[in-house]
Amino acid sequence: MFVRTATASTTAAALLGAGALLLPADLPEAPERQGQDAPVVVAHRGASGYAPENTLAAVDAADALGIAWVENDVHRTRDGVLVVLHDTDLKRTTDAEQVFPDRAPWAVKDFTAAELAKLDAGSWFGARFTGARVPTLTQFLHRMERNRQKLLLEIKSPATYPGIERDIIRVLGRSGWLDRSHVRSRLVIQSFGADSVKEVHSLRPDITTGFLGTPAVADLPSYAAFTDQINPSYATIGADYVAAVQRLKGPHGKRLRVNTWTVNKAADAVKARDYGVDGIITNFPDVVRDATS
């Protein structure tokens, strides 16, 4: 789910160009779907079109744009700490190759949390983000709580990290994210791994879950037994597919929802809205919001 484009809105430039983020004291609740008018906008890895993905700066960039929902990606370090970044290795978004030149292939699972804390996770995106760090999941949750944001959490490569579902639930609980208000309206856990989604549903049936992918229509009823959302790539869907998903009810007795990714252009966002999707995941949340509202 990685897309970078050079397009940036005037609104974002005004908010972020000076380097200081404006943090509203209160954010509006993400809207429920109203016909085909207002899909929920989700900031992909934070507002990753404007700040280095999956960093606290990207969380704050989404907040500055008034975006309530943030998507992130979670891995586990060698010493069992949950951290937020997308790739299974550190090469693309950190300076791990320079700091640890003898540690190829620089897999996240081979490094301790203390070692990751030494890495620069911002300068690859822009000089003014030099020194941004790979956040732990706990740090990420605390920042989102400060901003009163909502989390679409993706479990990355679950087969690489046996038991990570239980670890994630433990950290969510310790950070205050498993109380009634968070579980009801501020938290979704998703993965490309169906077994991982099933495990989350088994451990905490009250948590809203999402499956990343585009299952065949004939297979959708089996997914509806354990997931509340089907979250497919934009390139794989049309109105008929969205309607087929939404005709089914998930494990909580509510119709399945569809959040599509990664939509960065206004014209594509309008098409996705007209397909009837419930949410749009994007690197440029202001662009999508302005196009679909």
At 143-163, the pLDDT tens digits run 999 999 999 999 999 999 999
pLDDT at residue 144, as a whole number: 98
Q: 128 — phi, psi (to 5°)? A: -75, -10
pLDDT at residue 172, as a whole number: 98
pLDDT at residue 283, as a whole number: 98
Task: Extract the tokens encoding 284.
Answer: 């440029």
All residue ranges of the chain with pLDDT < 70 are 1-37
- The residues annotated as belonging to the active site are 44, 86
**Angle CA(271)–CA(273)–CA(274) in degrees, nearest 5?**
65
What distance lies between CA 71 and its chain's CA centroid? 2
Model pTM score: 0.88
pLDDT at residue 17, as a whole number: 38
pLDDT at residue 37, as a whole number: 65
- At 119-140, the pLDDT tens digits run 999 999 999 999 999 999 999 9
Query: Identity (one letter) of the amino acid at 234?
Result: Y
pLDDT at residue 36, as a whole number: 53
The residues that bridge with 189 in the sheet, in sequence order, are: 153, 209
Residue 64 and residue 22 in contact, taking contact as beta carbons nearer than 8 Å: yes
DSSP readout, 150-174? EEEEEE-SGGGSTTHHHHHHHHHHH
Closest-CA residue to 74 (of 193, 184, 176) = 193
Q: How many CB atoms lie within 10 A of CB 255?
A: 15
Residue 136 is given by DSSP the state B
